[in-house]
Chains A and B, each alone.
Chain A
Amino acid sequence: MVHLKINGQDIEVEAGVSVLKAAEKAGVKVPSLCYNEELGHFTSCMLCLVKDARDGRLFPSCSVISTEGLSVITDDEEITEARQTGLELLLSEHVGDCQGPCQIACPAHMDIPQMNRLIAAGKFKEALKLVKKDIALPAVLGRICPAPCEGACHRKTVDASVSICLLKRFVGDENELHPFDPLPLNGKRVAVIGAGPAGLAASYYLQLNGYQTVLYDRNDLPGGLLRTEIKAEILPLNVLDQEIGTILSTGVEFRGGVEINASYFHDIVSQYNAVIVATGNLADEIRNWGFTTTAKGIEADQNSYVTSLKGVFAIGNTLRSSRLAVRSVGQGKEVAWSVAQYLSGEEPKGEPRLFNSRFGRLFQEEISEYLKESVPFNRVNSETLKYSGLTKEEAMEEARRCLHCDCRDIENCKLRDLSGRYDASQRRFAGNERKLMTKHFTHSIVYEPLKCIKCGICVRMTSKYQEKFGFSYIGRGFDVVIGVPFNESVEAGLAETAEKVAKACPTGALSVKDSK
């Protein structure tokens, strides 16, 4: 047996065990992308760097065998910077989008590509469920949203963006009820002041999560500006009422016609476990409620919406005047996270923000690669459909125009997880030029070489499992690519091991086709 110290903790391991494994025994998970349980160490990604406490030297823990008396530090400022830098270098050549650019552009970060896939497959109920995770009012927003998502859509480079907004409206219109069962009430009560899009959304998500929510508004009916400012031919009142109905039906208690002043506000604060202010453009009255404010509105943290008053959060136009209802709706969703965190004694941080790889503009030469997962149809003419909406057939057809820019392995990508954990920036070491993306399909998997981080797991695995062709490193240095020998197809290269290899890929370079 060998004795060593991991972060000062004494550990005993068998002879021949790597430092990475010894750390694991000490309960420390050292990050690595190229290490694979089945294939062992390879020393490629260099993220498993740890420090020899005796001389301060960094070494890759996956490949160093534990020796008697070794003392290892697995995390400190320098090691964190090393891993961050390593990740940033990998990201600088990782060409691919984690979330689709549409999802990133959407102020509510709705999973648009997945919605499109569900619509295309005719799974409308599931589509609604997905949409409602992020957007409480899809039928409403489907009529009034200026659709920043469509501006970012890669399909624009091909012909015209996908009619995302109309598709969302279709999903909202197609189903009458909200698709979720609220959690049982947990005994905590939250007040939401202002029943516009922000307040409605916040109420919805809090109620769903078991917080008894009381929604106040000075008007008799909920809806705020949605009810007063938008022409009926664009947003018919019955659509608005119906969609608000799905929110209230979760158990939100609406108290209309209530004018709130400073003292009433403080009464509310004292009565509830948390309060959300969503009163729209900041009225002078509210400046007296005790918040720190700026010329634009109430000052609040941009992720957690925490204000200067304890237990009070602020969202929507009270922060800053905006014509984007979707932003307010998104903030309503996000503040529900904060409030829940606050009420369970955590520091409110808002909705977890995951790392997103982005490559920017699609090159002309890449269009054909992206069209491999799409159809060449033109966009439905949305001007004429502005009022009528899409038929089922139109919706399915339009949804199929989506290029599916989002990554299949988004839920299962070590690179993304670690990039988020180490706060890595993809832009810091951005190169002068990027290579052209390609996509290679087999019957079961997809290979996207420019997402590859050259960890060699697939090369080692196809060799281990005696693939006839397998994958090989081709070339060397920065220009090395992983490919199939003799220009054989990926199908031929991974004849036996495709799914196994795809699952072992630490990022989205190789992914199982139907994983999303």
Chain B
Amino acid sequence: MSVQLDARPPVLPAPTTRSHRLSRFDTRYSPYLYITPFFLLFAVFGAYPLAYTFWVSLHDWDLLGTDHAFVGAENYTRLLADADFWHAVVNTLGIFVISTVPQLLAALWLANLLNRQLRARTGWRMAVLIPNVTSTAAVAIVFGVLFGREFGMVNWLLDLIGIDAVGWKSNRFASWVAISAMVDWRWTGYNALIFLAAMQAIPRDLYESAAIDGASRARQFWSITVPLLKPTIIFAVIISTIGGLQLFTEPRLFHSGTNPIRGGPLRESQTVTMYMFENAFAPHYNFGYGSAVAWLLFALIAIVAAVNVLIIRRLGGQTPGGRAAKGDLR
């Protein structure tokens, strides 16, 4: 809007000149022109594949086959009755919950620490991001070895304190924990930096007046920092939801050996994306069914993201914005 205002000439020149028409065209349409590249790219790489996947999901589509019979919603009806699919959904949600909740809490705590006066502050802030710049594949393989049943370091440590070896890859809950550890190791620092950026935008005087009123550090954190961080927390939750529900690389590489796409002999940690891959590619090569899984996953993410936003809104209290939060203190 402000661009348009600035661009409008202060005095109207003669209405018929060519340059005038050009400039009016410019002011009216160039903003659209500037944002076109994004939408063009999105149309080619986002919207079109999305629509095409939907089209595929309505067919009996063998990946290598040449004729693909139209079957309508059959893939979807079969999928909704498919116990393995729902098993994968539960796995995905389970891993999502036990990875995201501690992760965001830890990130918040870490950001709070980094926001204080520390020596070599930039160094610390950069250090928390290091796990994020390592390759996911490398992380997953290393964790896969750490959590090995017989030769793994985690079981060795447990053995030292007298706990029996855990089948990290063949016990459903244990495998969720192991994969969550991987996800958290990688993403906690990243979220901490996002929270930190938002924390630095909170005016100092709020803390000062709270301190004068006698609020402790913890009280300041919960009554000033967290409420004012709410938009950022919502952002982090949505991004984590999208990522968490599409979790693939970590659980896939956590399992090695024959047919790792199952995520364990009883599909202990098979996520929805892995189930999609199993159906669309090896060993089933049923592209139609795999596409149906992709679309249901899309719906699932939309639902979970919406639920999360509602929950976060509730948790943060009904008060919109910081002024009310500041008022609460008084």
- Decide whether A and B assemble into one complex: no
